[in-house]
């Protein structure tokens, strides 16, 4: 009998992340390989590949089936890319731990840099954030919908469906695709909130599993990602809202940067704040400040607090 049943999506990236969590638990608790069972749960998001996420129900597509398996007791914990986890979660589910964050930056594949893209180039992406950020800097660029897992997107690029695409460096690295693409500096492109972070959720009332997982929690990653998520919650952002945010440790404090865009990328509003780790209020203050200063084309994309 395994001590812990760990649920994951079935994509190559999800399986790699689940294996990382499994390895961390085995190492931390001195367990054997049979102590953790990995269960693959099929999600709607993995099945429907041809439409924008926002159109078919947003981020819940990645979590709904894993939530069900967790609450039904079929699994004890669920591994997620934090970027794909909705801001507002059921009260019966708790975020128990995060692995140390990977590279948070995006990479461009198909060109040496955003600046090097030819006039009028077509970029494949299904992320409203990436599309708005690209068009803010390069209004001449066009975007086409690119979905599917990392390999599917790279195959679409090879097939000539776009001149370039953007992918998270974290995912490429975990899949050992170190050779793919060029990192875009943070100053040029702030990532999605939670990018590069892997989190593990448990049933909120399962204290035993919570404490097993708390033992592998990376505190700085948790503090940063929780601050980014608090910002999203205070913005009333959904998966269609083009928002970039990044918190990094700054001594004993956190430094949080954020940008909101209009859908077409023409408008941008940016800001930053510093606050104590675990202070739930400073991200909300930054959110209020951004919404305050936002033009209507941005403001209308956010529900607010
Ligand atoms: N939305 C899909 C998704 N969710 C997490 C990652 C990458 C890994 C991460 O950010 O931790 C990706 C792919 C991508 O954006 O390139």
Phi, psi torsion values for 157, nearest 5 degrees:
-65, -45
- CATH number assigned to the domain with residue range 106-183, chosen from the 4 options 3.10.20.30, 1.20.1560.10, 2.30.30.790, 3.40.190.10: 3.40.190.10
User: CB under 8 Å to 29, separation ≥6 — which residues?
Assistant: 35, 212, 215
Closest CA to 90 of 110, 62, 71, 116: 71
Return the pLDDT at 59. Answer: 60
Closest CA to 183 of 89, 91, 104: 104
Q: Is 147 helix (H, G, I), strand (E, B) or coil?
A: coil
CB 236 within 8 A of CB 183: no
**pLDDT tens-digit profile, the chain (305 residues):** 899 999 999 999 999 999 999 999 999 999 999 999 999 998 776 666 656 555 555 666 778 899 999 999 999 999 999 999 999 999 999 999 999 999 999 999 999 999 999 999 999 999 999 999 999 999 999 999 998 888 999 999 999 999 999 999 999 999 999 999 999 999 999 999 999 999 999 999 999 999 999 999 999 999 999 999 999 999 999 877 899 999 999 999 999 999 999 999 999 999 999 999 878 799 999 999 999 999 999 999 998 87
Residue 46, ligand 1, Cβ within 6 A: no
CATH superfamily placement of domain 232-299: Porphobilinogen deaminase, C-terminal domain (3.30.160.40)
Return the pLDDT at 277. Answer: 87
For the chain, which residues make up each domain, given as ranges? 4-102+197-217, 106-183, 232-299
CB 300 within 8 A of CB 287: no
**3-state class percentages of the chain: helix first, strand second, coil last, to nearest 5:** 35, 25, 40
Residue 194, ligand 1, Cβ within 6 A: no
* Residue ranges with strand state E in the chain: 4-8, 36-40, 77-81, 93-98, 106-109, 122-124, 142-144, 164-168, 182-183, 198-203, 243-250, 253-261, 268-276
Largest Cα–Cα separation, the chain: 59
Return the pLDDT at 48. Answer: 60
Q: Give the residue whose CA is nearest to atom 8 of ligand 1.
A: 171
CATH number of this structure's domain 4-102+197-217: 3.40.190.10
CB 165 within 8 A of CB 141: no
With the most atoms of ligand 1 within 8 angstroms of its CB, the residue from 13, 52, 56 to mutate is 13
From CA 25, how far away is CA 19, in angstroms rounded? 10
The rounded Å distance from CA 1 to ligand 1 centre is 33
From CA 111, how far away is CA 19, in angstroms rounded? 32
Q: Give the residue whose CA is nearest to atom 11 of ligand 1.
A: 196
- Residues in a beta bridge with 108: 166, 182
Q: Do domains 4-102+197-217 and 232-299 have the same CATH topology?
A: no
Based on the residue annotation, tell me whether 84 is a catalytic residue of this protein: yes
From CA 222, how far away is CA 156, in angstroms rounded? 34
Q: Give the residue whose CA is nearest to atom 9 of ligand 1.
A: 196
């Amino acid at each position: 009998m395994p001590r812990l049943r760990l649920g994951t999506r079935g994509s190559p990236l999800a399986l790699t992340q689940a294996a990382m969590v499994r390895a961390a638990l085995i190492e931390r608790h001195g367990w054997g390989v049979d102590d953790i069972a990995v269960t693959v749960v099929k999600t709607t998001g993995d099945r429907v590949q041809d439409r924008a996420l926002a159109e078919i129900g947003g981020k819940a597509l990645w979590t709904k089936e894993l939530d069900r398996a967790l609450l039904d007791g079929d699994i004890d914990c669920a591994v997620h890319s934090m970027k794909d986890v909705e801001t507002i979660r059921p009260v019966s589910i708790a975020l128990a731990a995060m692995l140390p964050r990977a590279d948070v930056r995006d990479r461009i594949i198909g060109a040496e840099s955003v600046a090097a893209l030819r006039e009028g180039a077509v970029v494949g992406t299904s992320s409203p954030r990436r599309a708005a950020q690209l068009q803010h800097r390069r209004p001449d660029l066009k975007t086409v919908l690119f979905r599917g897992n990392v390999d599917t997107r790279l195959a679409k690029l090879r097939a000539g469906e776009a001149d370039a695409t953007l992918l998270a460096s974290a995912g490429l690295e975990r899949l050992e695709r170190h050779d793919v693409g060029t990192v875009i500096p943070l100053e040029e492109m702030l990532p999605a909130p939670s990018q590069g972070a892997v989190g593990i959720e448990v049933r909120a009332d399962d204290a035993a599993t919570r404490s097993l997982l708390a033992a592998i929690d990376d505190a700085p990653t948790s503090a940063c990602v929780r601050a980014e998520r608090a910002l999203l919650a205070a913005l009333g952002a959904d998966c269609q809202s083009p928002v970039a945010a990044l918190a990094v440790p700054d001594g004993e404090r956190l430094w949080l940067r954020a940008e909101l865009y209009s859908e077409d990328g023409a408008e941008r509003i940016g800001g930053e704040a510093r606050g104590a780790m675990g202070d739930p209020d400073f991200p909300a203050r930054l959110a209020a400040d951004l919404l305050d200063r936002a033009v209507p084309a941005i403001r209308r994309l956010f529900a607010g607090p």
